[in-house]
Amino acid sequence: MNSRQVVFHDAGLLDYGQAWELQEHYHQLLATQPDETRDPKGYLIFVEHPHVYTLGLHGDQNNLLIDNNFLNKIGATYYKVNRGGDITYHGPGQIVGYPILDIKRFATGIKDYVFKLEQAVVNTLLQFKIEASRLPGATGVWLDAGTPSERKICAIGIRASRGISMHGFAFNINTQLDYFRWINPCGFLDKGVTSLQKELGTAVNFDQTKEILLDEIAKVFEMTIVKAL
């Protein structure tokens, strides 16, 4: 294998807990190999989750605005996880990406790694003629950043252990945005969320969008993608 090869796994619709176990499995595969001879250099999972809220390691549980009874009513689950960032929502119609990468092979550090994730999403949105950018002091990808109408279209929250990344991004495509009403997304009280569908005024081809995003990630990180069997 070459020095920048990454195995891609499209997990389809998968329970959050099962996806977390899959991440841990891939992380362990990398972490137990000698640093200089790891092959491949990483894994990349794309997945959709059933409705779920996840809270980062240092997040504020008060940003979940509903109780367990209401969670059950709306068919959602809740996890406290070991990534950075605050609370976010995952659900059908959203591309969730979990890169499990030997970071030093693909970035100069954590900040550069996050920057590249953001850039891949920005580049994907340009394919749909949507201009997006970063917002100082807030990770993720935003539309109309710095204006009263700023709104997030992709959340990012990561963890790095033994030089290997976990968790990743949640990119709203045909996402049911109503589910964001019951949290303070990423801990913000004054910022909106949006989706590709909402911005375009029509649902988009989900599988095609995944392919575009995968291609942009490969370009930005200069990685060679090998699809898992």
Supply the residues annotated as catalytic. Answer: 186
Lookup: tokens for 82:
């070991």
Q: How far apart are CA 163 and CA 213, in angstroms?
A: 24
Could you tell me whether strands 224-227 and 192-193 are parallel, antiparallel, or unpaired per DSSP bridges?
A: unpaired
Helices 206-221 and 110-126: crossing angle in degrees, nearest 10, is 140
Q: How far apart are CA 177 and CA 68, in angstroms?
A: 20
Q: How many helices (H) and strands (E) does the chain have?
A: 6, 12
